[in-house]
Amino acid sequence: MRRLRNILSVGLVASVLAGCSTLSENMRVPEIDEYNNDSRRARVRGRLTGEDGILIFGNDRGSQRGGGAGEQSGIGVNAFLWRASLDTLSFMPLASADPFGGVLITDWYSPPGTTGERFRATAYILGRQLRSDGVRIAIFRQELRGNAWVDVPVSAGTASELEDQVLSRARELRSQATAAAR
């Protein structure tokens, strides 16, 4: 039994020493290190708030340059869809806006003359391209019953109508930008 323990101890020590022998290969060398190399540092600088937005899922947006206007902005989503969503939902009070994640959340809004009903919207900008499937809007509706607000269903076409308005406004903004650039 003691002999077995000695053999296992020697084997353990030998494996630890063998693992340490390659330690120098795993050490970071300042000349090779991507964040110490000035050329690499310049390419990754400003990823969070810089000209190319947030680096998500390992996509390097530097290789996607040369797209249409609106794709070169400092926000993480298509600038035309973002601006169009803000414009379209501007009749509702804005609760939160995340241009990097592409999420707009409005506060509750009661239409004039309607006291027992209120609405809330959340717009999701889904990418950097101006596409028909690039925006999704969720509408929430509540009615006042007694002294409590109760969730009620929203007409199926309401969200689609708002999405169409956002897309129309985004196309309008793009054509204005293209005309101004000429």
pLDDT tens profile 38-49: 444 444 444 444
Same domain, 91 and 149: yes
38 and 97, same domain (yes or no): no
* Backbone phi and psi for residue 130, each to the nearest 5 degrees, phi listed first: -85, 100
Higher pLDDT, 151 or 35: 151
Question: Using alpha carbons only, how large is the chain's radius of gyration in Å?
Answer: 27
Asked if 177 and 73 count as a contact pair (C-beta separation under 8 A), the reply is no
Same-domain check for residues 33 and 96: no
CA angle 55, 43, 131 (to 5 degrees): 40
Instruction: Indicate which CATH number applies to the domain containing 159.
Output: 3.30.530
Answer whether residue 37 shows pLDDT above 80.
no
Position 141 in a domain: yes
- Quote the CA–CA distance of 70 and 67 in Å, as a whole number: 8
- Does 93 map to a domain? yes
Is 69 within the bounds of a domain? no
User: Would the CA dihedral through 107, 174, 164, 78 be positive or negative?
Assistant: negative
Domain-embedded: residue 62: no
How many Å apart are CA 7 and CA 5, to the nearest integer? 5
d(CA 19, CA 74): 46
> What pLDDT is attached to residue 13?
63
pLDDT in tens, 79-131: 999 999 999 999 999 999 998 899 999 999 999 998 899 999 999 999 899 99
Say what the pLDDT of residue 3 is. Answer: 74
* Percentage with pLDDT > 90 across the chain: 49
Looking at the fold, whether 17 and 104 belong to one and the same domain comes out as no
71 in any annotated domain? no
Query: What gap in Å lies between CA 162 and CA 121, rounded to an integer?
Result: 10
Q: What are the φ and ψ backbone dihedral angles of 114, each rounded to 5 degrees?
A: -115, 115
In a domain, 54, yes or no: no
Q: What is the pLDDT of residue 60?
A: 46
Give the pLDDT confidence score for residue 33 in this predicted structure. Answer: 44
Same domain, 175 and 102: yes
pLDDT of residue 180: 87
Tally of domains in the chain: 2
What is the CB neighbour count within 10 angstroms for residue 130? Answer: 22
Structural domain span for residue 123: 79-181
